[in-house]
Structure 1
Amino acid sequence: MKRRKDNRKCLENKHIPYGLYERYIKRPMDIILSASALTLLSPVILATALMVRIKLGSPVIFKQKRPGKNGKIFNNYKFRTMTDERDEFGKLLPDEIRLTPFGRRLRASSLDELPELVNILRGDMSVVGPRPLLPEYLSRYTRRQARRHEVLPGFTGLAQVHGRNAISWEEKFEWDVDYVDRITFLRDWRIIFETVGIVLKKEGISPQASATMEIFQGSSKETAKE
């Protein structure tokens, strides 16, 4: 309970922009980049949507609640990569079964994340920032980890270019907080270019032990940084 109260207080803290770029340029740049990408990639987006409809059925877009800046909940959009297969009791089957070969290819190419460009255009997300995670994690963060919500979540981020899903949750959150503390034009563009290279190499798509990243249950006292 104490951690939950601490996190709520942390999420309410006002973030002080690092400089002029974060204060005045980053958001207009997000709008320009997301609008340009949606226009240039529209044939790819339409083709991907058609393939998802043929391979996995409808709905084509997977919509999920995610916390954004200051913990504000928004609808995060992605192309679906899993089936809705259930057991005899109506419970969804494990991710490893529902994630099809086609879905794996979508994730490997990051094409499943293209609908997030709409989230960026709407102002729910930024091109670069901590990745949006699940709402239930909000009560599990340490005060330090909760600082990742001081800024808009991103299409890509510092954690994604330093291991993506192949590193631990604690390592990811440390990279996220590092990013929050120093947001600059050159740093954002370096992350963008490094992300392109990682996507082309298909590095760190998923952890070795499972098809998707394990659920974050909270940090142990040994690994947590308050």
Structure 2
Amino acid sequence: MRGSAYRRYGKRFLDLIGAVLLSVTFFPVLLLVAIVVRIKLGSPIFFKQERLGLDGVTFVIYKFRTMTDERDEKGHLLEEQHRLTRLGRFLRDWSIDEYPQLWNVMRGDMALIGPRPLIAEYATRYSSEQMRRHEVRPGISGWAQVNGRNAISWEQKFILDVWYVDHYSFLVDLKILFLTWLVVLKRTGISHGNHVTMPKWKRRTETEFGEELW
């Protein structure tokens, strides 16, 4: 399966075509959202952050900004739940904040479907098995996103991500694409407990996949 035409060049070709078509189709919506974010939240319009991509190489991900820069008296950013605005919550509920990642797909940083890219500081926390999630390009949506999204644990996410690496194909990606629309329409799994999205992944001491994490 690893040598299939889809894995070698078909997936990347369809990602590029899909990203271009979606960008053109939704351009009026993207422009409107950009204007509203600029008016309501100010500049910058986009949230940028280093994430881990294919083979663990970092890249800059783009999202529409959803939070303010409010800080406490010591200059530290407030917790996310205090900075997330009504506009930001709406954008997240409908996954509209993710649309700028179509640019990442066109650049080759990401795919339409794949494990979600995580922040760069997690690079040293993976077990070798968990690190396998970076054998493919990260995606805007993925197997973990349609099987619980942020409602499941980090460990469950990684297991689902590695499953995807071993089993992805055109039909699997098509299934995930279809399920993604259902998840977005139902607005399920947006948050984890009392957190806005997911709590930060902290280093663990228990053994997983037969290896000690940290």
TM class, shorter-length: over 0.9
- The residue aligned with 1:11 is none
Q: Is the 8 A contact 1:18 1:181 kept in 2?
A: no
Question: How far did 1:183 drift?
Answer: 1.4
Deviations 1:111-153 (A, max 9, x none): 0000000000000000110000011111111111111011100
- The residue aligned with 2:19 is 34
Q: Is the 8 A contact 1:18 1:183 kept in 2?
A: no
1:19 is the counterpart of 2:19: no
Q: Select the structure with the greater relative contact order (CA < 8 A; seq sep ≥ 6).
A: 1
Deviations 1:30-55 (A, max 9, x none): 00000000000001101111111111
| TM, length-normalised to structure 1 | 0.90
2:71 aligned partner, one-letter code: R
Tell me the C-alpha RMSD between the 2 structures: 1.2
1:106 aligned partner, one-letter code: L
- The residue aligned with 1:7 is none
- The residue aligned with 1:4 is none
Change (3 A) 1:169 1:72: same
1:211 is the counterpart of 2:199: no
1:154 is the counterpart of 2:139: yes
- The residue aligned with 2:206 is 221
Question: In 2, Cα distance between the equivalents of 1:206 and 1:55?
Answer: 23
- The residue aligned with 2:108 is 123
2:184 aligned partner, one-letter code: V
Question: In 1, Cα distance between the equivalents of 2:91 and 2:125?
Answer: 30
Structure 2 unaligned spans of 5+: none
| TM, length-normalised to structure 2 | 0.95
Question: In 2, Cα distance between the equivalents of 1:220 and 1:169?
Answer: 14
Question: In 2, Cα distance between the equivalents of 1:220 and 1:211?
Answer: 26
- The residue aligned with 1:6 is none
With 136-145 and 210-219 compared, the bigger mean Cα shift is at 210-219
Runs of 4+ in 1 over 3 A off after TM superposition: none
Deviations 1:67-86 (A, max 9, x none): 10011111100001000001
- The residue aligned with 1:69 is 54
SS in 1 for 2:49: strand
Size of the aligned set, in residue pairs, is: 210
Structure 1 unaligned spans of 5+: 1-15
With 206-215 and 74-83 compared, the bigger mean Cα shift is at 206-215
Q: Which residue of 12, 25, 31 corresponds with 1:46? A: 31
Question: In 1, Cα distance between the equivalents of 2:174 and 2:185?
Answer: 17
* Identity across the alignment (%): 51
SS in 1 for 2:30: helix
Indicate the structure with greater helix content: 1
Question: How far did 1:18 drift?
Answer: 5.3
2:54 aligned partner, one-letter code: K
